[in-house]
Structure 1
Amino acid sequence: MWNANATARRGALVATVMLALLTAGCVDATNPPSSTARQPGGPGYPVRITHALGTTVIQAPPKRIVALSDGDLDALLLLGLQPVAVGETTGPDGGVNAWTAPLLTGDPVVLPAGDSGYNPDQVLGLNPDLVLAGAYGSIDSLYHRMAGVVPTTAYEVAKGADPWEVTVRQVAKAVGLVDKGEAVIRDTRAKLAAAKDAHPELAGTRFALGQMWTAASVGLLRSPADPSVRLLTDLGMTLTPAVASTTGATTPRSYPLAKLGALTRTDVLVLYFPDPSLRALLQGERAFARLDAVERGGFLALTREQYLALRLVTPLSIGYTVERLVPDLARAAAGSAR
């Protein structure tokens, strides 16, 4: 499967990290604030959030927040709030991702994701007053069970694939920090713009992005609306016409190894290999070796962290991508220059 969360991960959250990036006045949503503490949102409630599954009404500033996805969690942390519980993420052994850990200061409950998703009774048992699930791809299966008990958000544009700006705005509205959410968006866009300006070699570079899960084929993203594709295009790159969908299809396209020659006029080929042995297998294929991108030095194999940052697009992961992946992309683009 393409989804990095397809296999349920177990393990406790490794999460007592000192907070150095937030100001001292931020509210810890794991505990009710004192009468002198800054309320998360102040006046302006109730708040109404319309999404694909209905309308969520939040009557008062939330104090016990559950974040079920990386996108919701990262947005919440950047707004200065801490959750009482999180869905297990894609970090090592179920821990948080490298770009999230520095902002997580509490010791939230880690909700295990079974094959059918999170257990709604377990979520409700934490007595939350807000469940953030706008970026959670499987919210459909438990939304109505939870929404009748506690305000629960859901995706607005596409299941599990809302643009990161949509998730940030939704979370910011839910906690009453709309202006701060807009500041997060501006700051993130500025990072992308600066990275684009710093690496003009990326401009117009035709790329293909995917992963190799089996020995039989390579799966490549083909939708310009995919968050990962959109992130690379924001850096000035162009999805190669060889794979780009002309019908709006969002599912990855599978290429048998012998048919990789179809990726003509592709400058940079970016792949992730969950099993390192698959990389050796692919590089032994004649069709792969003859690709323009490979012959010109434009092949880039992603590390696990680079891949996750590129697939789980949040303001925090974008910062990680700019620092840890963009330089490699630029080298691949320069190597593939005509």
Structure 2
Amino acid sequence: MSRTPGASRRRLSRLAGALLSVLLLTTAAACGSSDDGSGPSAGSGKDASASSSAAPEAKAFPVTIAHKFGSTTIKSAPKRVVTVGLTDQDAVLALGTVPVGTTEWLGGYKGAIGPWAQDKLGGAPAPTVLKDDGTGPQVEKIAALRPDLILAVYSGLTKSQYDNLSKFAPVVAQPKEYNDYGVPWEQQTEEIGKALGKPAEAQQLVDGVTAKFAAAKQAHPEFAKATAVMATPYEGTFVYGTQDPRSRLLSDLGLSLPKDLDKVIGDQFGANISKERMDLLDQGVAVWIVPDLTSAVTKLHGDKIYGDLNVVKQGREVFVKESSDYGNAVSLSTVLSIPFVLDRLVPQLAAAVDGDPATKVDESAS
């Protein structure tokens, strides 16, 4: 399953399936083993890690990080970081390091760096973008970048992929206590902070975003009395589970997710629901990530079962265009993209749950 529904319309990636052969891996590692300091980066021969800022914190290394496949020890400060995790680049940038390689998921941004993170490049060239064609990480291209650290925190890395990537650099995989692609943004930031030797700085970043959530909840106590769900019209109705970062945006703002949500979708980040379970959408607010704000909404409201729900009749819906910067930021939900999201999402949620059907939800942000 693609990390996000609608792969055909958004060129989305999935870290699953067969890897390139070990022969390719070995060949690629050899090709990337020169010591001349040069490495490919998008649009430039310069090393994209050159603008990596402050030194690691005292006694930060060696550090051992536990994950789904055991643990990984990083002996010294990494200088050439490749992000296989689909959103890991934002935490790396926030901590002052420009990756030499990133994995493209959505948005089509240069270097896979969204507008909320562009200033973190600090004048450095954009990273080389690795595209996943459905067979997993591009091992040959990753090896050619000569990484000294590979981050796959927000990922669905398999054991065989982990083992093969570990042959030429330390790999920090997804944490075992969450579903694949289910790591909270806080833990993602903290683990990447440890890997880069900046745990205290990572905690400061987390505290800063947490304070924004707290301020929004204080300004909108009505959120604590409302339920909410996040969905997309993919092959019917696809609902995101409690461990998905998009759903966590809602719960972190104080809204409650449907009690039996995970029971319905299982141990995935989300799943399609049947017509019989459309009641999951009849919440205090339904947030929809849609391909188009006009045709998608018309189609949804034209469905008799959904159209008859109170959430529709009482105007308690929020629509976010998936291919917009706003929609991309919602899907990424990182330490850098979340402030960008909250500026737009909080006013929309407030309008949807205010109890007045006449209040229009502003969709101009999409």
Q: TM-score, normalised by structure 2?
A: 0.77
Match of 1:196 in 2: 217
Q: Is 1:87 the counterpart of 2:68 in the alignment?
A: no
Query: What are the equivalent positions in structure 2 for 1:88-103 lying under 5 Å apart?
Result: 88-92=104-108, 95-103=112-120
Q: Deviations over 1:107-154 (max 9, x none)?
A: 211112111122112111111111111112235452111112211110
Bigger shift: residues 223-232 or 52-61: 223-232
Q: Is 1:330 the counterpart of 2:350 in the alignment?
A: yes
Q: Deviations over 1:224-278 (max 9, x none)?
A: 333322221121111134x523478233343445x46534752211112225533
Q: Is 1:115 the counterpart of 2:134 in the alignment?
A: yes
| Amino acid paired to 1:83 | P
The answer to whether the 8 Å contact 2:67/2:172 transfers is yes
2:308 pairs, out of 280, 283, 290, with 290
Match of 2:193 in 1: 172
Match of 1:187 in 2: 208
Are residues 211 and 254 of structure 1, via their aligned partners in 2, closer, same or farther at CA, if it must alter by over 3 Å? same
Match of 1:155 in 2: 174
Are residues 253 and 120 of structure 1, via their aligned partners in 2, closer, same or farther at CA, if it must alter by over 3 Å? closer
Q: TM-score, normalised by structure 1?
A: 0.83
Compute the displacement of 1:173 (Å): 0.7
Distance 2:340 2:258 in 1: 24
Identity %: 30
Query: How much is the aligned-residue C-alpha RMSD, in angstroms?
Result: 3.0
Are residues 29 and 41 of structure 1, via their aligned partners in 2, closer, same or farther at CA, if it must alter by over 3 Å? farther
The answer to whether the 8 Å contact 2:51/2:121 transfers is no
Match of 1:133 in 2: 152
In structure 1, the residue corresponding to 2:88 is in which secondary structure? helix
Are residues 295 and 260 of structure 1, via their aligned partners in 2, closer, same or farther at CA, if it must alter by over 3 Å? farther
Are residues 141 and 301 of structure 1, via their aligned partners in 2, closer, same or farther at CA, if it must alter by over 3 Å? farther
| Amino acid paired to 1:52 | K
Match of 2:233 in 1: 212
Matched length: 317
Distance 2:256 2:357 in 1: 14
| Amino acid paired to 2:189 | V
Distance 1:277 1:121 in 2: 42
Q: Deviations over 1:12-33 (max 9, x none)?
A: x9999xxxxxxxxxxx971398
Are residues 190 and 64 of structure 1, via their aligned partners in 2, closer, same or farther at CA, if it must alter by over 3 Å? same
Distance 1:330 1:191 in 2: 16
Distance 1:40 1:261 in 2: 50
Bigger shift: residues 267-276 or 228-237: 267-276
In structure 2, the residue corresponding to 1:111 is in which secondary structure? strand
Q: Is 1:143 the counterpart of 2:162 in the alignment?
A: yes
Are residues 88 and 245 of structure 1, via their aligned partners in 2, closer, same or farther at CA, if it must alter by over 3 Å? closer
Match of 2:256 in 1: 238
Match of 2:284 in 1: 267
For structure 1, the residue ranges without an aligned partner over 5 or more in a row are 17-27
The answer to whether the 8 Å contact 2:228/2:286 transfers is yes
Distance 1:187 1:149 in 2: 35
Match of 1:226 in 2: 244
| Amino acid paired to 2:183 | D
| Amino acid paired to 1:132 | L
In structure 1, the residue corresponding to 2:150 is in which secondary structure? strand
| Amino acid paired to 2:342 | V
In structure 2, the residue corresponding to 1:167 is in which secondary structure? helix
Distance 2:88 2:199 in 1: 15
Distance 2:54 2:230 in 1: 44
Distance 1:15 1:197 in 2: 45
The answer to whether the 8 Å contact 2:51/2:98 transfers is no
Distance 1:172 1:104 in 2: 17
Match of 1:66 in 2: 82
